[in-house]
């Protein structure tokens, strides 16, 4: 195929087929099918091409999905893109590789990527160096996740040849049109026999990903350039305007109106002045015809002259000053040591340069729970198998020790070695709880050994170390010894934990070679840490050696055949399988110590580590098989028939495997308890009989207990599928995978067909511990007047327990629990509850009481109240609640709630989250904050600010938010005052010069006044002024309330400053005018004192407003005065004809020799500033504001101040606030939970639906008092 033929190939985009892109390759050439009449050429393709690029540290930030580059990053991002597009690569022509640029890559090219290289386009994976057709990729450039993800070759296309020949590919590739959805991909490959094979996201290499631990991979370009998914997600910067900026723009419009009014007065005054002249004055120059302009025309011209003269009234320089102040404020925030996280070596990130002041006006905070309030480090705590609960007390003791103020790394280091995971000893000393207690050590806060430098996510000792339950260990050992391993449910339970996941297994010794794109972590040079690491490695080596000695015999079963292989511990073993003809090299023997698990979620990692603790070790995972080592040392290789991935609708995941011994098709399923229990029938499985019914009921009881303790729960099930059912189902599954239209619906339908009549094995309880100082942070935010809402996908019991632990809910709170299915009942409950809450607030007997009302609502009910007819009532109820907890909510509901509150209540909102499911919520709020946690960097990339822990929110808002808002608000008000006060001097002079637009001050000095003399002080004021210290703001969170609502900068303060500027300008003009009246001074001699007086007045006015004086303040203020006199004296001495015909020569020198000059300056300045000074003195003496009181306390010595804060907080916390129960309404009762029978729904409606409304006063901790839902049916 020559070059001319190659250029004729084209890609057809057909709008009548919903954007289906079809590509065909036959006989070494690509042919593209035509299905409809209309054809739109999309781009040219090139065949038999291979593109590669060398490993480089130049990684474009423009690849990042959901990452919004700031305005300051745009130029750098463009430069990086240009360099990437121009990078050389190799393209094959006639079986030879030739260099080409990235920008030359086209749809239809075959691209070969080697290890550690970045994928240049969206590729459909056709071939890899791995015999199983697996390619491991790292998606850190897309979502920030460093754990490896597995991609597989399109089913049926795996070529075992070492090299891939593009001309051998003769299939048609059909895929959907380019879109921004990173989590879905629809495609199928049609071979020459017209057989279609579906392909999805599991076979797609996205642009920006990095190939890891794979020698090479070959892919077919389906999207290139700006049509790749990562580039489509890069929509440029989101520009957010702060609340203060919006107010500023309105006030600038007022200034424009004021300027027009002043110019109109000048134009009308000039016209009237000309009409009042008895004769034509000699200084008016006539036109060439000898006639003068009419007074009206002269007044019209004078209007524009006045605009030029008074245009300083419009504060254009204010916008530049604001940007400078914000840049310095961001610098100060990002360099705050208290916001630095030593564990991850990361600091606060500011991605939005123009909304820092909004941090000081937040009224509502919407927070995720998992990973935001909690650590997202999942710790296996308890499990229930076949209706029997195993509390894992020894493991709880270990976690209790870790909770103490000790070092996690030293606690784990000093543990005595656990029994080998390939065999156990049930001697008493091996399972004695006393032996599992560890000596006390010093704890380093939040730090786990090696966490800062580890490559694998969810692999801290806290998560990986699990101490088995002795009773369960004996149960499993008994099943092993009795030979019941084929049918024993306990073994099936742990096999399900090891198999039903997407964990990638790799050898811990095979370190990952990386292209460095993240900042290097801080490495420690502590010799104690080095010695500890060496001893640990030595202990691990000895442990591995002894394990091998204890279990020399090994059996390995493969599901492909019945071959049983024996391995008497040789140094090297080559295994040959009959069916696959593959060679497997195994040695040294894989143990749990040298395996590394890379999971996509911490839940999966916790379950795999739990199974590993009981000897069920996940050894390997390929697209077609999973290898698990049993406690006896046998290796079982399960053939993977299909994987039903987790989705938000099903809330579960299933893996269909063929058992290597029984040859049965077994479906292992894990998922949310309510989703699994529905597949067993009713929640308590009444349709079952005998022991099965008891198992389901007991397991449900254990699940409820786990939820009360705040544990995350999962149910584990098993189902044996007959071969006939599997073959029929497999055909439907293949048709669904090959579909383009409605693929997701068809795949879910096929999954539902198989996930029925499941056999319950048990349940697990995983703990997600609270982050450090979360309760203190929430309490401080609530005291600051901020309402905190938690939006989570967890079940209500778990969410309520965590809410009590983090003090979102208090024990004395009145908790309203809304849960219903029917909208009519929901409406009735909402109306009755809202009416009772209103009645309570309007009751005169409750004037001095403080109702602490909290609302708990589930996702199903939330969907009802978010409807247009119930929105207003729901918002009215929610705003009367101190805290709101929304459970079982979807990402879309999170963003809907944020938008609803922001638009209905007109309040400033802040959303904080750490995962991809929080991105919509973060972008919907006025300020979005991402937490760089365990779930990747999607939230960070989409946020305006990024922090490491939730506790950092306290100082970010209470201190930096208050400072940023106060500084900018006061600076803006001062800027308006300064411009109006100075411009009015020129305006008052017009009344004495015939409104002729003449200025009594030299033009150059007027320019220098705003450019040099008074430009630096307000900027310094906006950067460095500190009204209250950080300690006081953190100790008294109530001070934050002063910035909420209208804040420091509001219409009242604006117009007061404008009126004060008018007053001061009148004083500054008329006192010198009266002093020099009837004298023979010239116009500039009169204007020089006015200019000097204006400078002193404006600077001293700022001195009154400055709260904290530092050396910088003194230097700037005195420097401005000195600069004024130096420049003016030099200008008066040098510039004789700088601005003809005016002559400012030696004017200031003459004035400074006259005592009248000093007297006028002093008296005028004092009179001008006296009202403001007296007002401040009276206000601070008679009715001091909270901020003024805090400033008085700041003047105390630190010990006295801290003691006062401590006593004040103790008094506030211990003070008895009168709390009165709500008066009993007709329905529901708020005294105790009772049945509710609203009047509006019909009896049939009530019979068809379940609903619950729990209103509980003095609610006790869930682990002590169980919350009984009120159900009516």
Q: Write out the catalytic residue numbers.
A: 368
- Please answer whether residues 420 and 473 qualify as being in contact, where contact means their C-beta atoms are separated by less than 8 angstroms: no
Cis peptide before 798 (omega within 30 of 0): no
Residue with tokens 């195993």: 390
In whole angstroms, give the CA distance from residue 607 to residue 625: 19
Residues 6+ away with beta carbon under 8 Å from 619: 505, 590, 595, 627, 628, 629, 635
Structure tokens at 305: 């002259």
> In 3-state terms, the chain is what percent helix, strand and coil (to 5)?
45, 20, 35
Residue with tokens 């929509």: 235
Q: How many CA atoms lie within 13 A of 18 on its CB side?
A: 9
CA 871, 873, 878, 884 torsion-angle sign: negative
- Please answer whether residues 995 and 1075 qualify as being in contact, where contact means their C-beta atoms are separated by less than 8 angstroms: no
In whole angstroms, give the CA distance from residue 757 to residue 760: 9
Structure tokens at 1133: 């001495």
Reduced to 3 states (helix: H, G, I; strand: E, B; else coil), residue 979 is helix
Residues 6+ away with beta carbon under 8 Å from 284: 292
If we measure between CA atoms, which residue out of 81, 73, 164, 67 comes closest to residue 120?
81
**CA end-to-end span of the chain:** 74
Reduced to 3 states (helix: H, G, I; strand: E, B; else coil), residue 760 is strand
Going by their DSSP bridges, the two strands 787-791 and 814-820 should be labelled as unpaired
Query: Rounded to 5 degrees, what angle do the CA atoms 632, 636, 639 make?
Result: 165
CA 89, 98, 227, 27 torsion-angle sign: negative
In whole angstroms, give the CA distance from residue 121 to residue 126: 14
In whole angstroms, give the CA distance from residue 610 to residue 628: 14
Residues 6+ away with beta carbon under 8 Å from 513: 115, 116, 212
Structure tokens at 655: 């893996």
If we measure between CA atoms, which residue out of 1191, 1198, 1187 comes closest to residue 1040?
1187
Structure tokens at 577: 């399988």
Task: Give the chain's radius of gyration (CA, Å).
Answer: 38
What single string gives the DSSP state of each residue in 857-915? EEHHHHHHHTSTTTHHHHHHHHHT-SEEEEES--HHHHHHHHHHHHHHH---EEEEE-S
- Please answer whether residues 336 and 953 qualify as being in contact, where contact means their C-beta atoms are separated by less than 8 angstroms: no
Q: Tally Cβ neighbours within 10 Å of residue 1266.
A: 12
In whole angstroms, give the CA distance from residue 123 to residue 206: 7
- Whole-number Cα distances in Å, 709 to 127, 673, 716, 805, 808: 49, 15, 20, 10, 16
3-state SS track over 555-606: EEEECCCCCEEEEECCCCEEEECCCCCCEEEECCCCCCCCEEEECCCHHHHH
- Report DSSP state, residue 346: B
Burial class (CB in 10 A: 0-12, 13-18, 19+), 696: buried
- Report DSSP state, residue 235: -
User: Long-range contacts for 328-333 (Cβ within 8 Å, ≥24 apart)?
Assistant: 328/1023, 329/356, 329/960, 329/963, 329/964, 329/967, 329/1023, 330/356, 332/960, 333/956, 333/960
In whole angstroms, give the CA distance from residue 497 to residue 764: 10
């Amino acid at each position: 195929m020559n070059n001319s033929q190659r250029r004729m190939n084209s890609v057809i985009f057909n709008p009548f087929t919903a954007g289906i892109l079809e590509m065909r390759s036959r006989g070494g050439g690509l042919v593209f099918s035509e299905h409809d009449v209309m054809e739109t050429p999309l781009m040219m393709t090139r065949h038999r091409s291979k593109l590669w690029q060398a490993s480089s540290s130049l990684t474009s930030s423009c690849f990042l999905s959901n990452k919004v580059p700031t305005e300051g990053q745009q130029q750098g991002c463009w430069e990086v893109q240009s360099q990437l597009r121009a990078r050389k690569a190799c393209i094959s022509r006639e079986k030879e590789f030739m260099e080409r640029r990235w920008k030359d890559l086209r749809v239809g090219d075959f691209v070969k990527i080697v290890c550690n290289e970045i994928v240049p386009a969206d590729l459909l994976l056709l071939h890899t160096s791995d015999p199983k057709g697996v390619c491991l990729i790292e998606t850190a450039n897309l979502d920030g996740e460093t754990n490896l993800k597995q991609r597989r070759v399109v089913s049926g296309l795996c070529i075992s040849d070492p090299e891939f020949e593009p001309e051998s590919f003769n299939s048609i590739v059909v895929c959907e049109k380019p879109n921004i959805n990173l989590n879905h991909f629809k495609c199928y490959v049609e071979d020459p026999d017209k057989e279609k094979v579906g392909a999805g996201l599991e076979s797609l290499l996205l642009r920006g990903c990095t190939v890891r631990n794979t020698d090479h991979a070959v892919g077919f370009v389906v999207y290139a350039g700006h049509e790749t998914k990562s580039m489509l997600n890069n929509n440029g910067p989101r520009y957010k305007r702060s609340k203060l900026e919006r107010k500023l723009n309105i006030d600038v419009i007022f200034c424009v109106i004021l300027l027009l009014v002043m110019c109109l007065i000048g134009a009308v005054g000039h016209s009237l002045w000309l009409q009042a002249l008895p004769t034509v004055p000699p200084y008016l120059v006539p036109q060439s015809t000898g006639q003068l302009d009419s007074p009206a025309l002269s007044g019209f011209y004078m209007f524009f002259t006045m605009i030029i003269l008074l245009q300083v009234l419009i504060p254009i320089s204010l916008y530049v000053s604001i940007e400078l102040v914000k840049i310095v404020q961001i610098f100060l925030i990002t360099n705050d040591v208290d916001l630095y996280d030593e564990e991850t070596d990361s600091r606060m990130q500011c991605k939005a340069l123009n909304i820092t002041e909004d941090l000081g006006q937040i009224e509502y905070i919407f927070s995720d729970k998992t990973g935001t309030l909690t650590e997202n480090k999942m710790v296996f705590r308890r499990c229930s198998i076949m209706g029997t609960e195993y509390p894992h007390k020894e493991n709880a003791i270990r976690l209790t020790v870790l909770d103490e103020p000790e070092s996690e790394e030293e606690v784990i280091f000093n543990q005595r070695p656990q029994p080998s995971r390939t065999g156990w000893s049930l001697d008493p000393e091996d399972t004695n709880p006393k032996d599992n207690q560890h000596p006390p050590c010093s704890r380093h806060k939040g730090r786990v050994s090696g966490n800062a430098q580890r490559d694998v996510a969810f692999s801290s000792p806290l998560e990986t170390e699990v101490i088995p339950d002795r009773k369960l260990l004996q149960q499993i050992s008994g099943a092993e010894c009795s030979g019941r391993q084929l049918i024993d449910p306990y073994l099936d339970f742990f096999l399900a934990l090891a198999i039903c996941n997407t964990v990638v297994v790799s050898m811990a010794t095979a370190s990952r070679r990386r292209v460095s794109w993240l900042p290097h972590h801080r490495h420690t040079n502590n010799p104690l840490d080095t010695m500890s690491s060496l001893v640990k490695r030595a202990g691990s080596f000895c442990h591995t050696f002894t394990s091998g000695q204890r279990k020399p015999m090994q059996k390995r079963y493969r599901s492909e055949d019945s071959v049983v292989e024996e391995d008497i511990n040789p140094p090297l073993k080559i295994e040959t399988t009959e069916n696959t003809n593959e060679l497997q090299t195994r040695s040294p023997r894989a143990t749990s110590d040298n395996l590394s698990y890379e999971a996509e979620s911490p839940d999966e990692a916790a379950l795999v580590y739990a199974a590993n603790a009981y000897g069920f070790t996940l050894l390997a995972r390929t697209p077609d098989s999973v290898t698990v080592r049993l406690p006896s040392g046998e290796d079982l290789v399960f053939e993977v028939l299909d994987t039903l991935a987790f989705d938000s609708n099903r809330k579960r995941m299933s893996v269909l495997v063929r058992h290597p011994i029984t040859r049965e098709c077994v479906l292992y399923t894990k998922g949310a308890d309510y989703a699994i229990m529905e597949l067993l029938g009713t929640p308590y499985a009444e349709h079952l009989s005998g022991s099965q019914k008891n198992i389901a009921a007991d397991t449900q009881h254990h699940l409820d207990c786990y939820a009360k303790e705040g544990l995350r729960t999962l149910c584990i099930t098993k189902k044996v599928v007959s071969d006939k059912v599997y073959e029929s189902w497999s055909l439907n599954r293949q048709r669904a995978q090959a579909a383009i239209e409605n693929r997701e619906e068809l795949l879910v339908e096929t999954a539902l067909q198989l996930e029925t009549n499941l056999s319950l094995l048990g349940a697990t309880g995983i703990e997600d511990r609270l982050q450090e100082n979360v309760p203190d942070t929430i309490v401080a935010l609530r005291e600051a007047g901020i309402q905190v809402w938690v939006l989570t996908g967890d079940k209500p019991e778990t969410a309520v327990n965590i809410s009590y632990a983090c003090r979102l809910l208090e024990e004395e709170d009145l908790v309203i629990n809304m849960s219903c299915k029917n909208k009519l009942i929901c409406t009735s409950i909402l109306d009755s509850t809202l009416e009772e809450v209103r009645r309570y607030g309007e009751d005169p007997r409750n004037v001095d009481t403080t109702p602490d009302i909290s609302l708990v609502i589930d996702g199903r009910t939330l969907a009802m109240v978010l409807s247009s007819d119930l929105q207003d009532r729901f918002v009215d109820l929610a705003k009367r609640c101190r805290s709101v907890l929304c459970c079982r909510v979807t990402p879309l509901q999170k963003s809907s709630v944020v938008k609803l509150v922001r638009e209905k209540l007109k309040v400033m909102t802040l959303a904080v989250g750490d995962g991809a499911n929080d991105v919509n919520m973060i972008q919907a709020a006025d300020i979005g904050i991402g937490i760089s946690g365990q779930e990747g960097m999607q939230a960070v990339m989409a946020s305006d600010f990024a922090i490491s822990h939730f506790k950092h929110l306290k100082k970010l808002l209470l201190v930096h938010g208050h400072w940023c808002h106060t500084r900018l608000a006061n600076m803006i008000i001062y800027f308006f005052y300064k411009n109006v006060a100075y411009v009015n001097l020129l305006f008052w002079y017009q009344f004495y010069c015939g409104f002729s637009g003449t200025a009594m001050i030299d033009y150059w000095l007027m320019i220098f006044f705003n450019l040099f003399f008074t430009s630096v002080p307000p900027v310094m004021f906006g950067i460095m002024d500190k009204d209250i210290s950080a300690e006081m703001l953190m100790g008294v969170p109530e001070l934050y309330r002063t910035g909420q609502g209208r804040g420091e900068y509001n219409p009242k303060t604006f117009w007061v400053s404008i009126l004060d500027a008018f007053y001061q300008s009148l004083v500054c003009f008329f006192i010198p005018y009266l002093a020099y009246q009837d004298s023979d001074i010239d116009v500039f001699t009169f204007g020089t004192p006015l200019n000097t007086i204006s400078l002193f007045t404006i600077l001293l006015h700022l001195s009154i407003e400055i709260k904290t004086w530092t050396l910088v303040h003194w230097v700037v203020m005195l420097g401005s005065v000195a600069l004024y006199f130096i420049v003016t004296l030099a200008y008066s001495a040098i510039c004789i004809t700088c601005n003809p015909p005016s002559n400012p020569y030696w004017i200031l020198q003459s004035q400074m020799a006259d005592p009248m000059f000093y007297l006028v300056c002093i008296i005028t300045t004092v009179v001008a500033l006296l009202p403001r000074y007296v007002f401040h003195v009276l206000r601070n003496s008679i009715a001091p504001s909270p901020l003024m009181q805090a400033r008085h306390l700041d003047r105390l010595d630190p010990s006295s101040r801290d003691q006062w804060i401590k006593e004040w907080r103790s008094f506030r916390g211990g003070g008895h606030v009168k709390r009165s129960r709500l008066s009993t309404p007709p329905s529901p009762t708020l005294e105790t939970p009772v049945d509710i029978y609203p009047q509006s729904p019909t009896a049939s409606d009530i019979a068809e639906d379940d609903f619950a409304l729990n209103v509980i006063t003095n609610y006790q901790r869930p682990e002590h008092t169980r919350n009984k839902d009120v159900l009516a049916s």
